Amino acid sequence: MSKDTKEKLIFAPERYQYTRGSLHREDLVNKDPLLLFNEWFRDAVQNQDIKAPESTTLSTARLPSGRVSSRLVLLKELDHRGFVVFTNLGTSKKAKDLKTNPHASLSFWWEPLQRQVRVEGAIEYLTREESNEYFQTRPRGSRIGAWASPQSDVIKDRKELEDRVAEYTKKFGEDEVKPVPVPEFWGGIRIVPLEIEFWQGGKFRLHDRFSFRRESIDKEYELVRLAP
């Protein structure tokens, strides 16, 4: 296709309507947004049409450029402080972004429920002990893979990666009982919310949007309704 053509690559006609539910302020007042998220997450887990309710888009931004990057990750834990995911904290693009800007966002989309949740927050790093507790629950191949992959670094070809897997398989062995230690460069990050927005699709795209927001992580949340 010529760069000068005005032909659209994608044209999405208006054919999808949001009719599954609604959201009301009186149902949210005095709610803990983390507990409300847990309720919505359980609804997603129980819906057979949602195959991976824990999948979420994690976005980070690098300073001073302000360049934003996003990727799908899996939510592994929700605790009283926030949302936990695990990653390579040494070479990954997200790790490099967070070193310059310790803030991130998450976006969950559960299409069959016509629900979305957005989270914006500050980053905390889990302790090595906390990271190891989760790391040891992973399949052995995944633990070895964490050692073998210099995540986001340029590699020559697939064979280079396979050779590294073979190297660490030899180092740690194939005995399922023998532990694989958590790498020093691998661990968990917790997104402590500054804002959690709950979005319920509405007819004629007049969606219900409510945001729990606060200025800092030691403050109380304010509940506000947002225009769709």
Note the pLDDT tens digit of each residue in 115-127: 999 999 999 999 9
- Which tokens in the block code for residue 60? 């980070």
What pLDDT, on the 0 to 100 scale, is given for residue 5?
A: 66
Query: If you search the block for the tokens 């053509």, which residue do you land on?
Result: 5
Respond yes or no: is residue 205 known to be catalytic: yes
Catalytic position from the list 205, 209, 214, 225: 205
Does the pLDDT of residue 1 top 60, yes or no?
Answer: no
Stated as kind and residue range, the H or E segment containing 164 is: helix 158-172
Does the pLDDT of residue 99 top 80, yes or no?
Answer: yes
What pLDDT, on the 0 to 100 scale, is given for residue 64?
A: 97
Burial letters for 123-155: b for 16+ Cβ neighbours within 10 Å, e otherwise? beebeeebbbebbeeeebeebbbbbbbbbeeee
Distance CA 200, CA 196 (A): 13
Q: How far is CA 168 from the centre of its chain?
A: 28
What pLDDT, on the 0 to 100 scale, is given for residue 204?
A: 85
List, for residues 4-45, the tens digit of each pLDDT value.
667 777 777 777 788 888 899 998 999 999 999 999 999 999
Provide mean pLDDT across the span 56-60: 98
What pLDDT, on the 0 to 100 scale, is given for residue 62?
A: 97
What pLDDT, on the 0 to 100 scale, is given for residue 2?
A: 56
Distance CA 192, CA 184 (A): 23
- Which tokens in the block code for residue 50? 């949602």
pLDDT band at residue 216 using 50, 70 and 90 as cut-offs: very high
The answer to whether 143 touches 180, Cβ cutoff 8 Å, is yes
pLDDT band at residue 188 using 50, 70 and 90 as cut-offs: very high
Per CATH, which fold does 25-132+186-225 belong to?
Answer: Pnp Oxidase; Chain A (2.30.110)
Distance CA 156, CA 152 (A): 12
Helix (H, G, I), strand (E, B) or coil at 25: helix
Backbone angle region of 86, left / alpha / beta, with phi > 0 → left and psi within -120 to 50 → alpha: beta
**For all residues of the chain together, what is the average pLDDT?**
93
Identify the DSSP state of 90.
Answer: S
Collect all residues with Cβ–Cβ distance below 8 Å to 119 and sequence separation of at least 6. 83, 105, 106, 107, 108, 191, 193, 195, 196, 197
What pLDDT, on the 0 to 100 scale, is given for residue 16?
A: 76
Distance CA 80, CA 217 (A): 12
The answer to whether 22 touches 70, Cβ cutoff 8 Å, is no
Does the pLDDT of residue 57 top 70, yes or no?
Answer: yes
Does the pLDDT of residue 66 top 60, yes or no?
Answer: yes
Tell me the whole-structure pTM to 2 decimals: 0.89
pLDDT band at residue 3 using 50, 70 and 90 as cut-offs: low
| Type of residue numbered 16 | Y
